[in-house]
Amino acid sequence: MLELAREMSGLKGERYMGAEIAELFWCRDLSEGSREPLSVLSERHGVLVVEVRGSEETLKVTMLLRRPGQPGPTSAMRNEGGISEEIKEHAVWHVFSKKEISEFVEKAGDRNPLHQGAHPVVPGLLLLERLLEDAAFRGCDGMQLRFRHPAFAEEPLWVVPLAKENFRIFSPREILCEGCVATCR
């Protein structure tokens, strides 16, 4: 995953600062041949779609670009509605520390200001990396995540399985993303 994150950091410049991942599709890719490590598939109306290829995996990422001067998410912008107590009965899946986020973005060369400061947003690729390391998802060939809200450092997260291969990730206040295990053949 870190290899893919490094390739994504190739998107440099003011235009990409503060970009947020809206959706990603990861696939274990065992095909051979020469491929571009980073390709812009489309860019329209503030939505950027890129494909990132590593030695054994491919990632298609849809990002929302910010207009200059548009603020990014902050922990103060979180939905205060809360999630049901039923969700909180599940074991906490993970709490991303500021240090964990900082180390990941440093190794990846990620300069997005959203992942820095007093209340850093958890990088989507770090979240995906931790999911793929989890026993429940280890060995899967593909995964799709659709983000609704950002996850912030130091908050507990829950992964709640749904029907078939689907799941949701919750913070104490809201649904962060919806995901599914995918087949990549």
Give the domain ranges of the chain.
2-182
- Does 35 have pLDDT greater than 80? no
Confidence of residue 55 (pLDDT cuts 50, 70, 90): confident
Confidence of residue 19 (pLDDT cuts 50, 70, 90): confident
User: Over the stretch 95-121, which tens digit does the pLDDT of each residue have?
Assistant: 999 999 999 999 999 888 889 989 999
Measure the CA–CA gap between 8 and 148, rounded to whole angstroms: 21
Confidence of residue 68 (pLDDT cuts 50, 70, 90): low
- Does 80 have pLDDT greater than 70? no
pTM above 0.85, yes or no: yes
Average pLDDT rounded to a whole number, residues 72-84: 54
Q: What is the pLDDT of residue 70?
A: 58
Measure the CA–CA gap between 180 and 25, rounded to whole angstroms: 10
Measure the CA–CA gap between 159 and 177, rounded to whole angstroms: 10
| 76-80, 129-133, 157-161: range with lowest mean pLDDT | 76-80
Contact 126, 168 (CB under 8 A): no
Measure the CA–CA gap between 178 and 96, rounded to whole angstroms: 18
Q: Which of 53, 20, 47 is nearest to 122 (CA)?
A: 20
99 or 66, which is more confident? 99
Listed in sequence order, the residues at least 6 apart from 2 whose beta carbon sits closer than 8 Å to its beta carbon are 104, 107, 108, 129
Average pLDDT rounded to a whole number, residues 159-181: 91
Measure the CA–CA gap between 17 and 118, rounded to whole angstroms: 17
User: Over the stretch 132-150, which tens digit does the pLDDT of each residue have?
Assistant: 999 989 889 999 999 999 9
Contact 95, 122 (CB under 8 A): no
Domain 2-182: which CATH number of 3.40.50.1480, 3.90.180.10, 3.40.50.720, 3.10.129.10: 3.10.129.10
Q: What is the pLDDT of residue 174?
A: 87
Measure the CA–CA gap between 131 and 144, rounded to whole angstroms: 11
